[in-house]
Structure 1
């Protein structure tokens, strides 16, 4: 029996619209819209058709006065997106109108943002290793904590009772939620842990590190079950696909590695022309959005790409 090779005859499409490089891409919960955040101080909303694409630049979200470093969608509302910026604010936007619906002024330059899976809270991390939890309804901080170590990415598990921090010490700090009391410290890597992704099926989480490895952890046991070794540079960004079957990992290497989660084997590699800043799978289908440090013509234009389209030929 011939084994089917996933992703074999698929291709990427390029989306242009930002004036400077794109730092972050994220899909809404319906998988119909993509948000991109850029150094040009804006975010944009794109309608993505699974079998065709619009050349329109979509709705522009304008208001930040510094780079939009990360963004995330409300997991329960397909038209609400939150942005974190170096201007110390977090903003909540209506993706249909491009209007800012809520604004919170925080104490530092924000570099991380993630939604609680039920959509009630937003966690924000800043350059000073301070974590702020916002109540989405009032858009006010309900919890603040400063850590005495480098905090990189942050995430809830799918049931929202565990909160993860990846640290510059090579550890993953496991906190209970909502108390944020320490539960465990996982000695995950020999160098700083940069990024974390949660398997949508709730079985695993993956951690990308400066040691160029990605580790896969069983959530119920808090044990490392596998490592992915294809990258040679510090791992910047990782994402599970909607079935939890595949993991996309990217770094300063000029390719994105897609591996089978169960076997650890590479099933496909997407060539890139630059280091990648953000990869994210669509929550409904195998479309992978990715953005990096591309320098293309016209000079300084920011682009992102989506892989997974069938060849039009």
Structure 2
């Protein structure tokens, strides 16, 4: 495992959206970053950490409401899916910026995730309804409405378990593809907002309205430790590519980076506003983050940042 030197932090700002950025996500090679915004567009950025020139970006246009979340095909570095409040899910080719598939669903979509083998996409909407799409036909193969608040959703690495974080402070674990309930994990004393799966498949982490991040052993479904640095509801969490570090963010004016094994906070990145999305690059220690804008009249509306760390 390589250690990170947190002393040598370098950062870069990317600006292209007209309104705040809700979601950032890396493709499977870590060479492109996508951003989704309230301005109804997504953008694809070619990220070369060593280049200081102007960055090429492609605009994905067509949604008629906020693009709240997006996710890349885990097996194809140029295919990306977007979920919008306009009730559609769209699949795009990141090379051309063209929409190749579109599905009309029944509600305002706020969550989207790919199955690790790239065959299915799960979408959650504001009415706590889950839709599973077959990627080839881009048709719904499962629909399920829940009688509790469903927040973020995720598959495990093997693709045989599906997780829902809920407003009741639980994580519901379903078997896949049957979607039968396997276990209810009582994780927090307040709503669970976000979930991340460790890239080595050992753990899942949950961020909650109680300001804690909990780490769970995936095979035992037991809580291993909690991360306690944040003081506001945790909005977004991400493991780095080695599974050694976890980043978490909220309305606190910093992003916390903690060591997964010790639970200790190792670095804090100051930020100007509440964060909506943090995501580590899948190949190297680059952390992308996007947040609210402190002031609507400032020039930093529609900006996101990437922080790079050197190896120690």
Q: Relative to structure 1, is the Cα distance of residues 202 and 5 closer, same or farther in structure 2, using a 3 angstrom cutoff?
A: closer
Distance 2:39 2:308 in 1: 27
Distance 1:60 1:37 in 2: 10
Q: Secondary structure at 2:47's aligned position in 1? A: strand
Question: Contact 2:285/2:309 (CA < 8 Å) preserved in 1?
Answer: no
Q: Relative to structure 1, is the Cα distance of residues 189 and 87 closer, same or farther in structure 2, using a 3 angstrom cutoff?
A: same
Deviation at 1:52, TM superposition (A): 2.2
Distance 1:55 1:37 in 2: 20
Question: Contact 1:65/1:87 (CA < 8 Å) preserved in 2?
Answer: yes
| Correspondence for 2:161 | 162
Q: Secondary structure at 1:70's aligned position in 2? A: strand
Q: Relative to structure 1, is the Cα distance of residues 239 and 53 closer, same or farther in structure 2, using a 3 angstrom cutoff?
A: farther
| Correspondence for 1:82 | 81
Distance 2:29 2:91 in 1: 18
Question: Contact 2:5/2:309 (CA < 8 Å) preserved in 1?
Answer: no
Distance 1:17 1:88 in 2: 24
| Correspondence for 2:308 | 308
Deviation at 1:294, TM superposition (A): 2.1
Q: Relative to structure 1, is the Cα distance of residues 281 and 109 closer, same or farther in structure 2, using a 3 angstrom cutoff?
A: same
Unaligned 5+ runs, structure 1: none
| Correspondence for 1:137 | 136
Question: Contact 2:276/2:290 (CA < 8 Å) preserved in 1?
Answer: yes
Distance 1:257 1:221 in 2: 27
| Correspondence for 1:284 | 283
Distance 1:166 1:307 in 2: 28
Distance 1:78 1:263 in 2: 33
Distance 2:122 2:82 in 1: 11
Distance 1:155 1:111 in 2: 13
> TM-score, structure 1 length as denominator?
0.96
Question: Contact 2:245/2:260 (CA < 8 Å) preserved in 1?
Answer: yes
| Correspondence for 1:183 | 182
Distance 1:57 1:20 in 2: 19
Distance 2:169 2:309 in 1: 37
Question: Contact 1:21/1:300 (CA < 8 Å) preserved in 2?
Answer: no
Task: Give a deviation string over 1:217-243, Cα, whole Å, max 9, x none.
Answer: 000000000000000000000000001
Q: CA RMSD, aligned part only?
A: 1.3
Question: Contact 2:21/2:37 (CA < 8 Å) preserved in 1?
Answer: yes
Distance 2:293 2:232 in 1: 17
Question: Contact 1:6/1:267 (CA < 8 Å) preserved in 2?
Answer: no
Distance 1:47 1:5 in 2: 24
Deviation at 1:9, TM superposition (A): 1.2
Distance 1:158 1:63 in 2: 32
Which of structure 1's runs of 4+ aligned residues deviate more than 4 A? 296-300
1:1-313 to structure 2, matched below 5 A, reads 6-56=5-55, 58-295=57-294, 298-299=298-299, 301-308=301-308
Q: Relative to structure 1, is the Cα distance of residues 175 and 5 closer, same or farther in structure 2, using a 3 angstrom cutoff?
A: closer
Task: Give a deviation string over 1:96-134, Cα, whole Å, max 9, x none.
Answer: 000000000000000000000000000000000000000
Question: Contact 2:6/2:309 (CA < 8 Å) preserved in 1?
Answer: no
Distance 1:292 1:301 in 2: 9
